[in-house]
């Protein structure tokens, strides 16, 4: 027997020894502990600059929450009295459009009458002109910085409607904002747009325990909804690393994908209805709770993924599946990318309906996590592994699920697809494994400047781009590949000590051309925002983009809603 084979069999037995328990800790379930781990109840109720460590949450219980600094994206709500003098034309961005755009002169500039009017609608307290503006003007990565002089916090649909009606009549540009965790510069002003943050609209309106249909306001934090549903014995069909801060309205506006898409599908399938306020203040009631409704065009789909460019989402109705009790997580190592692909195919084949996540990260991503996050460790033996895969199964039959998973793992080990692996034995291990994968964006953020690309590509080609990018950029930067392998979604991240136009010129347009040549999408889930507004043609035909622009002009003729974003500037009259 060769040394390699001995090592393989050792790893195999180590794995087998660990397959004897399922994850969901019974103690935990019996106690039904689903109290919030974090402190914040809204996107604005955060401690400034703090990285708030939360209790780990797992499937519905909020203990697997990311320890993300996204939690701390905006300071707490306190009354403030002074207006900071932001330079109105400030627009700092390190994305694709850096330096390319000018403020449109067609938009009015905020004056004291406007402020007085907003105070009349919202009251003094919810018209913010103090230091909290700084956080609202800057995105999670501190990559896009606007210069808005006002942040509005409506508490009802009627208030949103009155604000928009007024802004439209005055031609004041507006940026809708949720948890401000977006990664493409969509959630912050480019120049001096009025910021409308939905954090105070955070009520659960109804939950039907028979159908699993949840109706809530757009400002509900995703993690709060996960906790709420857990208490009801249901799960949110959506989960992502920024859950502690992002809002359901923001999720719908970006058509967020995340960690459960492989199992539950996209929000286009799960969102049953929306209430939206249009630019002129009209309230569009599409808040249906029906699974079937074929009365003409299904307009809600226009707003799912519209990134605040067509209207402000104020209420959401969403179909949620029942919580299942048997959950297992395996953290595995593969020697090469081909093995990861084969493992995915095998997992789909062997695990079938119980497969609920298939995530991957390369060894560079793992190093960045281990070097930048506190309290994490690689659960596998410290041999050099090139790729790591996290597999989660969720089902109803503990013994059946376990048997299925064990058979799959043993088969994969024997056929050499897996070089090492562990199965979480309790909730803490499960959280620790998820923490490694979910911690990648946060650790990259801590490591310095990050150039982020979120691409849909054929799975077999996906990692070639990482390899080519590494060869192109050399040793001075770290090129990291990770993502939702099960959905063909690569997060290509380039980590550098600081933002540098020379690096950007090496990356773009190469990354977009490569993706387009492989018939991929330049935005799998993060959206277009400001970053890719002028790059949309890499993924959409001119005819499709033209139709999008026509729809935009129809519903928002003055283009006050999130200007400069989503659509190419050549098609919009911003000058």
Ligand X SMILES: Cc1cc2nc3c(=O)[nH]c(=O)nc-3n(C[C@H](O)[C@H](O)[C@H](O)COP(=O)(O)OP(=O)(O)OC[C@H]3O[C@@H](n4cnc5c(N)ncnc54)[C@H](O)[C@@H]3O)c2cc1C
3-class DSSP state of 147: coil
Which residues share a beta bridge with 398? none
The reply to whether 180 sits near ligand X by the rule CB under 6 A is yes
3-class DSSP state of 326: strand
Give the integer Cα–Cα distance in Å for 400 and 141. Answer: 44
- Exposed e or buried b for every residue in 363-393, given b needs 16+ CB within 10 A? bbbbebbeebbeebebbbeeeebbbbbbbbb
Phi, psi of 235 (to 5 degrees): -130, 155
Binding track, positions 503-542, relative to ligand X; x by CB under 6 A: ----------------------xx--x-------------
Cis, bond preceding 208 (omega within 30 deg of 0): no
The reply to whether 44 sits near ligand X by the rule CB under 6 A is no
The reply to whether 251 sits near ligand X by the rule CB under 6 A is yes
User: Which C-beta is closer to ligand X: that of 66 or that of 286?
Assistant: 66
The reply to whether 179 sits near ligand X by the rule CB under 6 A is yes
CB 51 to ligand X: min, Å: 12
Tokens 């286009």, residue located: 268
The reply to whether 559 sits near ligand X by the rule CB under 6 A is no
From the list 29-37, 172-180, 408-416, 535-543, the region that binds ligand X by CB under 6 A is: 172-180
CB 118 within 8 A of CB 208: no
Helices 398-414 and 3-17 pack at an angle, to 10 degrees, of 180
Helices 337-351 and 398-414 pack at an angle, to 10 degrees, of 150
User: Which C-beta is closer to ligand X: that of 315 or that of 404?
Assistant: 315
The site that binds ligand X (CB under 6 A) totals a number of residues, namely: 40
Q: Which of 37, 65, 178, 237 binds ligand X (CB under 6 A)?
A: 178
The reply to whether 242 sits near ligand X by the rule CB under 6 A is yes
3-class DSSP state of 108: coil
Two tokens at 12? 């195999």
The reply to whether 168 sits near ligand X by the rule CB under 6 A is no
Q: Give residues 403-442 in contact with ligand X (rule: CB under 6 A).
A: 441-442
The reply to whether 254 sits near ligand X by the rule CB under 6 A is yes
User: Which C-beta is closer to ligand X: that of 305 or that of 421?
Assistant: 305
The reply to whether 110 sits near ligand X by the rule CB under 6 A is no
Binding track, positions 285-314, relative to ligand X; x by CB under 6 A: ----------------------xx---xx-
Give the integer Cα–Cα distance in Å for 164 and 225. Answer: 27
User: Which C-beta is closer to ligand X: that of 247 or that of 456?
Assistant: 247
The reply to whether 182 sits near ligand X by the rule CB under 6 A is yes
CB 305 within 8 A of CB 379: no
Summarize as ranges the residues that interact with ligand X (CB under 6 A): 66, 68, 70, 140, 175-183, 186-187, 198, 218, 240-242, 246-247, 249-251, 253-254, 256-258, 307-308, 312-313, 441-442, 525-526, 529, 562
């Amino acid at each position: 027997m060769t040394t390699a084979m001995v090592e393989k069999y050792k790893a195999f037995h180590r794995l087998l020894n660990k397959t004897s328990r399922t994850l969901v800790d019974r103690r935990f379930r019996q106690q039904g502990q689903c109290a919030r781990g974090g402190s914040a109840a809204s996107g604005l109720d955060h401690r400034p600059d703090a990285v708030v460590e939360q209790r780990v949450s797992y499937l519905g219980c909020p203990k697997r929450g990311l320890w993300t600094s996204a939690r701390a994206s905006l300071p707490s709500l306190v009354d403030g009295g002074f207006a900071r003098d932001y330079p109105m034309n400030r627009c700092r961005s390190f994305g694709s459009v850096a330096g390319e755009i000018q403020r449109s002169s067609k938009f009015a500039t905020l004056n004291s009458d406007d402020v007085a009017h907003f105070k009349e609608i919202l009251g003094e307290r919810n018209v913010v002109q103090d230091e909290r503006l700084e956080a609202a003007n800057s995105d999670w990565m501190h990559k896009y910085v606007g210069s808005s002089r006002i942040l509005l916090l409506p508490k009802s649909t009627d208030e949103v409607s009155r604000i928009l009606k007024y802004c439209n009549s005055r031609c004041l540009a507006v940026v809708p904002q949720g948890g401000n965790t977006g990664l493409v510069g969509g959630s912050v002003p480019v120049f001096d747009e009025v910021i409308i943050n939905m954090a105070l609209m955070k009520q659960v309106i109804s939950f039907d325990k028979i159908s699993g249909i949840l109706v809530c306001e757009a400002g509900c934090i995703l993690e709060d909804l996960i906790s709420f549903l857990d208490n009801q014995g249901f799960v949110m069909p959506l989960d992502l690393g920024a859950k502690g801060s992002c809002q359901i309205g923001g999720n719908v506006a970006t058509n967020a994908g995340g960690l459960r898409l492989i199992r539950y599908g996209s929000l286009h399938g799960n969102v049953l209805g929306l209430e939206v306020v249009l630019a002129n203040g009209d309230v569009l009631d599409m808040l249906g709770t029906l699974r079937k409704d074929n009365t003409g065009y299904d307009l809600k789909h226009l707003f799912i993924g519209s990134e605040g460019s067509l209207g402000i989402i104020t209420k959401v109705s969403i179909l949620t599946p029942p919580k299942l009790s048997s959950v297992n997580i395996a953290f595995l190592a593969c020697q090469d990318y081909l093995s990861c692909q084969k493992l995915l195919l095998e997992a789909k084949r062997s695990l079938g309906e119980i497969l609920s996540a298939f995530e991957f990260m390369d060894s560079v991503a793992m190093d960045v996590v281990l070097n930048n996050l506190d309290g994490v460790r690689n659960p596998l033996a410290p041999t050099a592994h090139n790729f790591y895969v996290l597999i989660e199964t969720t089902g109803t039959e503990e013994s059946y699920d376990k048997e299925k998973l064990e058979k799959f793992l043993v088969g994969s080990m024997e056929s050499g697809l897996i070089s090492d692996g562990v199965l979480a034995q309790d909730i803490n291990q499960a959280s620790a494994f998820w923490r490694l994968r979910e911690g990648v964006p946060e650790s990259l953020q801590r490591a310095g400047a990050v150039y982020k690309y979120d691409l849909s590509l054929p799975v077999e080609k996906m990692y070639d781009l990482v390899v080519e990018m590494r060869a192109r950029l050399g040793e001075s930067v770290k090129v990291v590949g990770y993502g939702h392998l099960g959905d063909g979604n690569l997060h290509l991240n380039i980590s550098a000590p600081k933002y540098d136009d020379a690096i950007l010129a090496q990356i773009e347009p190469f990354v977009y051309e490569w993706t387009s040549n492989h018939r991929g999408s330049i935005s799998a889930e993060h959206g277009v925002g400001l970053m890719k507004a002028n790059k949309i043609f890499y993924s959409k035909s001119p005819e499709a983009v033209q139709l999008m622009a026509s729809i935009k002009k129809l519903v928002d003729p003055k283009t006050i809603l999130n200007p400069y974003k989503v659509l190419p500037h050549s098609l919009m009259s911003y000058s």
